[in-house]
Amino acid sequence: MITTLILYLTILCISTSASTIPQRPLVPQASPTWTPDPLPLVIWHGLGDNYKAEGLRSVGDLAQEINPGTFTYFVRLDPDPSSDRTATFFGNLTLQIAQVCADLAAHPILSTAPAINAIGFSQGGQFLRAYVERCNEPPVANLITFGSQHNGISQFQNCATTDWVCQGAQGLLKGNTWSQFVQNKLVPAQYFRDPEDLEAYLENSNFLADVNNERVFKNETYKQNLIMLEKFVMYLFSEDTTVVPKESSWFSEVNATTGKETKLKDRPIYQEDWLGLKTLDEHNKLEFKLTEGGHMQLSDELLKQVFKQYFTPQTKGN
Provide the annotated active-site residues: 122, 240, 295
Strands of the sheet containing 116-121, edge to edge, are 72-74, 41-44, 116-121, 140-146, 231-237, 286-291
Distance CA 281, CA 287 (A): 8
Instruction: Say if CB 149 and CB 248 are below 8 A apart.
Output: yes
Nearest alpha carbon to residue 229 among 100, 120, 129, 99: 129
Q: Which residues, 6 or more positions from 125, have their beta carbon under 8 angstroms from its beta carbon?
A: 44, 145, 146, 147, 148, 149, 150, 234, 249
Q: Which residues, 6 or more positions from 303, have their beta carbon under 8 angstroms from its beta carbon?
A: 59, 62
Q: Which residues pair with 290 in a beta bridge?
A: 236
Cis peptide before 313, with omega less than 30 degrees from 0? no
Q: Which residues pair with 119 in a beta bridge?
A: 43, 144
Nearest alpha carbon to residue 28 among 309, 284, 316: 284
Distance CA 152, CA 190 (A): 9
Question: How does DSSP classify residue 89?
Answer: T
